Structure 1
Amino acid sequence: MSDQLEGRPAIAAAIIVQDGRVLLARRRVREGELSWQFPAGVVEPGESGEQAAVRETLEEVGLGVEAVKNLGERIHPATGRRMIYVVCEVHSGTALVADADELAEVEWCDKARVGELVPFPFYGPVQEYLDASLS
């Protein structure tokens, strides 16, 4: 796929699971129906989806992470943006609101809590990864 869809760059999302919980962030400004989502942001020119997921995680939630697996990409049905989903592992830091302009809060969520905060299905490969990884 092209790096641009209708002139807009792709978005890379970091899927971070630690101790049976996934990190979600609540955006200050909703994107359509989306309020809680994975740490994510625009893939900058010359950057891979994996690099963008790592950078955005540090910028938004203060975690140093390593990209370990690309789960795939799709056009997001709610936003129309090209999304790249990247599994990342934490190697340093503590999750917090590092970018208060973009985020209101962060939370490590078990499977039940994810269902409360995100009441619609995830992209298939992301859902499969979470089903296998969350308590």
Structure 2
Amino acid sequence: MTVEVQRAVAAAVVVRGGRVLLVRRRVAEGVLSWQFPAGKIESEETPGEAAARETEEETGLLVVPQSVLGQRVHPMTGREIHYIACRPVGGRAVVASADEVAGLAWVTHGEIPQYVPYGLFGPVQNYLDEALLS
């Protein structure tokens, strides 16, 4: 009997021009439809590398990981998630992976609750409070 271990996920928290990038999943994970660009961390990757790769694959936007905001087991999915602050360095955000992503939005601080009504992970919220309100 083999037990499949779920790989951890890296999520990119990308801020540009006073807004944060969110993507709408084609297939929602429970109530999670809008979220940060994210995906499984491959065995040879750091969480930052995975966050940058997933952002490019899903949105076409090139980003560079800046700092680790924190990690947790997500209360709704049970998956381990690493949140990585990333800086955009090239490209333009579009739906680059139509089989995974149904839409994307650059969201202001005040709009976050409309997209993520259940609230954000504390360290991510603190980062966005600083990054979007300063």
1:32 aligns with 2:30: yes
Offset of residue 120 of structure 1: 1.3
TM norm structure 2? 0.94
Q: 88, 93, 99: which is aligned to 2:86?
A: 88
Could you list the runs of 5+ residues in structure 1 that have no partner in the other structure?
1-5
SS of 1:134's equivalent in the other structure is: helix
Identity %: 51
Amino acid in structure 2 at the alignment position of 1:18: R
Structure 1 segments of 4+ aligned residues over 6 angstroms from their partners: none
Aligned with 2:72 (options 61, 65, 74): 74
1:14 aligned to 12, 15, 21, which one? 12
TM-score (norm 1): 0.94
Q: How many residues align?
A: 130
Displacement after TM superposition at 1:112 (Å): 1.9
Gaps of 5+ in 2: none
| CA RMSD across the alignment | 0.9
- Per the TM alignment, residue 134 of structure 1 is displaced from its structure 2 partner at its CA by 1.7
Residue aligning to 1:3 = none
Letter in 1 for 2:119: P
